[in-house]
């Protein structure tokens, strides 16, 4: 299903803040494509935390199957956009 | 149950040839209302000045006006920001206490981390974490809209598990809960764990946190006339065979002779049960009550009389009363008492060959004691 919602800059910053807070990394170290697991030592609980925090922040429902796509910031933004479009 | 015949036997990979099989306390530390570290704890006991102070009613809107808090303690302040974002207070107190103890043990202790056990006593875990998590689930838009990172805080073995993960302790990891007797029960368990050959040495202790939630639970559980201010913190010690302690350069502070527990049914039977318990422990250890020179009681009504009844007439031991100094530390209380005996040992009390007792009466029908020899 094509996305009909586009995350704005403010929301994107909000997502980045959530990710950085949970993975305990400096925002400057995270790029749109740096990998949470390989580049930032994220573990599976960290991934679940990010998903859960996004659900609460954006009042959206994100299926756990989407975790496989939430490997970097771009991936997370895309998943949130699709969740908001539903 | 382990049979008597195996109690003195070294385990498969336990103490080596020449070991007496006797466990000693060779290091200890505490994070308490007196401050962080063994020195602060010893100094606080020596000063005999209570660390119980007024509670900030805005930060702690509960039924108690006073408490013994570990001043300025937080997970981030004690352990750094990394890895502590969702760590609750009792876990942080435990991790800090074990860290302080490891520092006193020296770096060689964890050379074979899988041979070092950790036995930690707690209450229900953190009642604050359990209640907060449950409330989030009930009041959020959906029952599952909770912070998953806080879930580990809701299980009882969080403090012991996290302490081991944080410090790289890879031997058996046990959580013990038994009300006020927790520290004594953890001590008894640690000795059995070692005798069974499951580890070469054991880090053992107890931790408790202050929270408004715990305060309300304690308030409702206690008799109206007996609501001492609450305390918090952690105490921990290292148990190992005496010859191995000396080989590692750790001078034994005291020898563990035995722990003993007993149950009572009616409240008025608590004192006599403790008298029997202490008598039994002394007999089991094959020592005379006349050698008891130091007692660290929990502070229950009738407890000191019950202890004296187990000793020869005219006995006049030194009493170290922790509760008035630190508050009622619940699950950490008997741990603090053991630390107090070890602090006295560090100061040379009692004299070599003499005995110390740590005792307790739990309101839920159990009594217990430990006998330590200098």
Distance in angstroms (rounded) separating the CA atoms of residues A82 and B99: 46
Q: Cβ–Cβ of A21/B140 closer than 8 Å?
A: no
Nearest chain A residue to B142, by CA: A56
Long-range contacts of B5-8 (CB under 8 A, 24+ apart): B6/B195, B6/B196, B7/B195, B8/B195
Q: Which of A21, A48, A59 sits opposite B148 (nearest CB)?
A: A48
Contact of B336 with B227, CB cutoff 8 Å:
no
How far off is chain A from B106, nearest CA to CA, in Å? Answer: 30
DSSP secondary structure code for residue B328 in this structure = B
Write down the domain spans for chain B. Answer: 21-247, 255-373
Identical topology for domains B21-247 and B255-373: yes
Contacts of A24 in chain B (CB under 8 A): 81-83, 85
Q: If you average pLDDT over each of A28-42, A62-76, B24-38, which comes out highest? A: B24-38
- In order along its 374 residues, chain B shows pLDDT tens digits of 344 444 444 444 444 433 447 899 999 999 999 999 999 999 999 999 999 999 999 999 999 999 999 999 999 999 998 889 889 999 999 999 999 999 999 989 999 999 999 999 999 889 999 999 999 999 988 888 888 889 999 999 999 999 999 999 999 999 999 999 999 999 999 999 999 999 999 999 999 999 999 999 999 998 877 899 999 999 999 999 999 999 999 999 999 999 999 999 999 999 999 999 999 999 999 999 999 999 999 999 999 999 999 999 999 999 999 999 999 999 999 999 999 999 999 999 999 999 999 999 999 999 999 999 99
Taking residues A69-83, report their average pLDDT: 94
Touching check for A55 and chain B: CB below 8 Å? yes
CATH H-level, domain B255-373: superfamily: Thiolase/Chalcone synthase (3.40.47.10)
**Residue listed under structure tokens 């352990």:** B79
> Is the pLDDT confidence value at A77 over 60?
yes
Contact of B73 with B97, CB cutoff 8 Å:
no
Which CATH fold topology does B21-247 show?
Answer: Peroxisomal Thiolase; Chain A, domain 1 (3.40.47)
Q: Which of B82, B85, B148 sits opposite A52 (nearest CB)?
A: B148
Give helix B270-285 / helix B303-310 axis angle, nearest 10°: 40
Touching check for B149 and chain A: CB below 8 Å? yes
Q: Cβ–Cβ of A22/B149 closer than 8 Å?
A: yes
Touching check for A52 and chain B: CB below 8 Å? yes
Nearest chain A residue to B86, by CA: A22
Q: What is the mean pLDDT of chain A?
A: 90
Q: Which of B83, B85, B149 sits opposite A45 (nearest CB)?
A: B149
| Predicted pLDDT at B361 | 98
Touching check for A43 and chain B: CB below 8 Å? no
Q: Cβ–Cβ of A21/B85 closer than 8 Å?
A: yes
Distance in angstroms (rounded) separating the CA atoms of residues B369 and B359: 4
Strand order across the B230-231 sheet: B53-54, B66-68, B230-231
Q: Cβ–Cβ of B85/A45 closer than 8 Å?
A: no
Q: Which of A49, A55, A59 sits opposite B149 (nearest CB)?
A: A49
| Predicted pLDDT at B197 | 95
Write down the domain spans for chain A. Answer: 9-85
CA atoms within 13 A on the CB side of B272: 6
Distance in angstroms (rounded) separating the CA atoms of residues B242 and B239: 9
| Predicted pLDDT at B237 | 98
- Rounded to two decimals, the ipTM of the complex is 0.70
What would the CATH number be for the domain defined by A9-85? 1.10.1200.10
């Amino acid at each position: 299903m094509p996305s009909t919602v586009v995350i704005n800059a403010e929301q994107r910053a909000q997502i980045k803040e959530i990710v950085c807070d949970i993975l305990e990394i400096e925002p400057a170290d995270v790029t749109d494509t740096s990998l949470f697991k390989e580049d930032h030592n994220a573990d599976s609980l960290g991934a679940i935390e990010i998903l859960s925090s996004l659900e609460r922040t954006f009042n959206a429902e994100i299926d756990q199957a989407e975790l496989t796509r939430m490997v970097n910031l771009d991936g997370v933004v895309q998943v949130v956009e699709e969740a908001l479009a539903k | 149950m382990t049979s008597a015949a195996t109690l003195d036997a070294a385990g498969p990979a336990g103490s080596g040839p020449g070991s007496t099989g006797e466990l000693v306390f060779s290091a200890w530390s505490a994070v308490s209302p007196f401050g962080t570290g063994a020195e602060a704890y010893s100094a606080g006991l020596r000063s005999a000045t209570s660390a119980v102070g007024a509670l900030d009613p805005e930060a702690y809107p509960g039924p108690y006006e006073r408490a013994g808090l570990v001043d300025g303690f937080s997970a981030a302040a004690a352990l750094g920001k990394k890895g502590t974002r969702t760590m609750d207070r009792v876990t942080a107190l435990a991790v800090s206490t074990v860290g302080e103890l490891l520092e006193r043990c020296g770096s060689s202790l964890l050379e074979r981390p899988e041979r070092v056990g950790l036995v930690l006593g707690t209450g229900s875990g953190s009642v604050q974490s359990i209640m907060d998590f449950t409330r989030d689930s009930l009041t959020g838009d959906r029952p599952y809209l909770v912070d998953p990172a806080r879930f580990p805080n809701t299980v009882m073995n969080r403090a012991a598990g996290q302490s081991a993960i944080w410090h790289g302790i890879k031997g058996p990891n046990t959580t013990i809960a038994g009300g006020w007797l927790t520290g004594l029960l953890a001590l008894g368990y640690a000795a059995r764990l070692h005798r069974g050959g499951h580890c070469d040495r054991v880090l053992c202790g107890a931790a408790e946190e202050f929270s408004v939630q715990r305060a309300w639970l304690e308030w409702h559980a206690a008799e109206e006339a007996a609501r001492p201010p609450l305390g918090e913190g952690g105490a921990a010690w290292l148990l190992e065979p005496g010859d191995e302690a000396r080989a590692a350069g750790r001078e034994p502070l005291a020898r563990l002779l035995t722990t003993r527990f007993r149950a009572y049914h009616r409240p008025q039977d608590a004192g006599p049960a403790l008298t029997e318990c202490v008598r039994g422990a002394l007999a089991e250890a094959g020592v005379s009550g006349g050698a008891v020179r130091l007692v660290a009681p929990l502070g229950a009504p009738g407890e000191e009389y019950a202890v004296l009844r187990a000793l020869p007439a005219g006995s006049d031991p030194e009493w170290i009363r922790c509760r008035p100094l630190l508050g009622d530390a619940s699950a950490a209380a008997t741990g603090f008492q053991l630390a107090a005996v070890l602090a006295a040992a560090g100061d040379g009390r009692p004299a070599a060959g003499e005995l110390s007792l740590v005792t307790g009466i739990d309101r839920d029908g159990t009594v217990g004691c430990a006998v330590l020899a200098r």
